[in-house]
């Protein structure tokens, strides 16, 4: 039985001489793996394979069975043609990071339409964002994504609650008896970033590279505390280089 759904490409791996195995986060079925045959053949050219770049948004007609670990695609076309995400080095590196982070959070295949729409909108906003917002985009996405997995940081920052306890995900009055916390200016900045609801608001944050890098690494520590076997992101080194 075929189903029509939208999907975002998270990972694409060459299989054999002409095929791909593609992980796609779909609106209808959540995370799914698809075998895509023949898209790398000389006859069909590179155009078909280009549709499966990481971060690409596609319209899909899929064969789906809950009992099969690998699904098949019947038809696939562009859902949205980016202006910059797949061609601009900086924006593409950010998109690669976003998709790797999302995949690390997805432990089960069940659908979550709110999460799908958040990721879709984030990619569209990244495509249109200016220089400053783009530079801060990883911080926004990294802080907002946990909301959909039940471990978003609570923004209770005030004059007395000025230390972010990463183990608990809340601001506390005193540093906890462990090393997983943020205090001082970075804690205050984190509270401000948590209040950003739309990516264009990132334009107001004039941060230098060192500040963004330090914050992002601490936010990834937060993920590691709340997601089992989170591990290291392969894209983080490239991201730091281009930013």
Q: pLDDT grade, residue 240 (50/70/90)?
A: confident
What CATH class is the domain 1-81? mainly beta
**Over residues 204-212, mean pLDDT:** 95
Domain coordinates in residue numbering, the chain: 1-81, 84-243
**Over residues 46-73, mean pLDDT:** 90
Could you tell me the pTM of the whole model? Answer: 0.94
d(CA 40, CA 196): 41
pLDDT tens string 108-135 = 888 999 999 999 999 999 999 999 999 9
Terminal CA-CA length for the chain: 45
The CATH homologous superfamily for domain 84-243 is Recombination protein O, C-terminal domain (1.20.1440.120)
The answer, yes or no, to whether residue 43 has pLDDT greater than 80, is: no
Across 103-114, b (16+ Cβ under 10 Å) vs e yields bbbbeeeebbee
Query: What is the pLDDT of the chain when averaged over all its residues?
Result: 94
- Do the domains 1-81 and 84-243 sit in the same CATH topology, yes or no? no
């Amino acid at each position: 039985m075929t189903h029509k759904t939208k999907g975002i490409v998270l990972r694409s791996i060459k299989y054999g001489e002409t095929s791909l195995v593609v992980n796609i986060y779909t609106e209808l079925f959540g995370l799914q793996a698809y075998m895509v045959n023949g898209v790398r053949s000389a006859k069909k050219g590179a155009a078909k394979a280009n549709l499966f770049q990481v971060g690409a948004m596609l319209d899909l007609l899929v064969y789906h069975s809950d009992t099969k670990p690998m699904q098949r695609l019947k038809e696939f076309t562009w859902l949205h043609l980016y202006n910059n995400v797949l061609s601009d080095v900086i924006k593409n590196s950010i998109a690669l990071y976003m998709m790797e982070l999302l995949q690390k959070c997805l432990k089960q295949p069940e659908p979550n339409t709110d999460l799908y729409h958040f990721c879709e909108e984030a990619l569209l906003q990244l495509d249109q964002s200016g220089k400053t917002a783009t530079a801060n985009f990883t911080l926004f996405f990294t802080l907002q994504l946990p909301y959909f997995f039940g471990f978003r940081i609570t923004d209770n920052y005030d004059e007395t609650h000025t230390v972010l306890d990463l183990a608990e995900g809340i601001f506390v009055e005193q540093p906890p008896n462990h090393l997983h916390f943020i205090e001082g200016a970075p804690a205050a900045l984190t509270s401000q970033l948590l209040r950003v609801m739309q990516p264009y608001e990132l334009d107001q944050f004039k941060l230098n590279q060192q500040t963004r890098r330090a914050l992002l690494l601490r936010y990834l520590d937060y993920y590691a505390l709340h997601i089992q076997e989170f591990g290291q992101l392969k894209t983080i080194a490239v991201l730091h280089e281009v930013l």
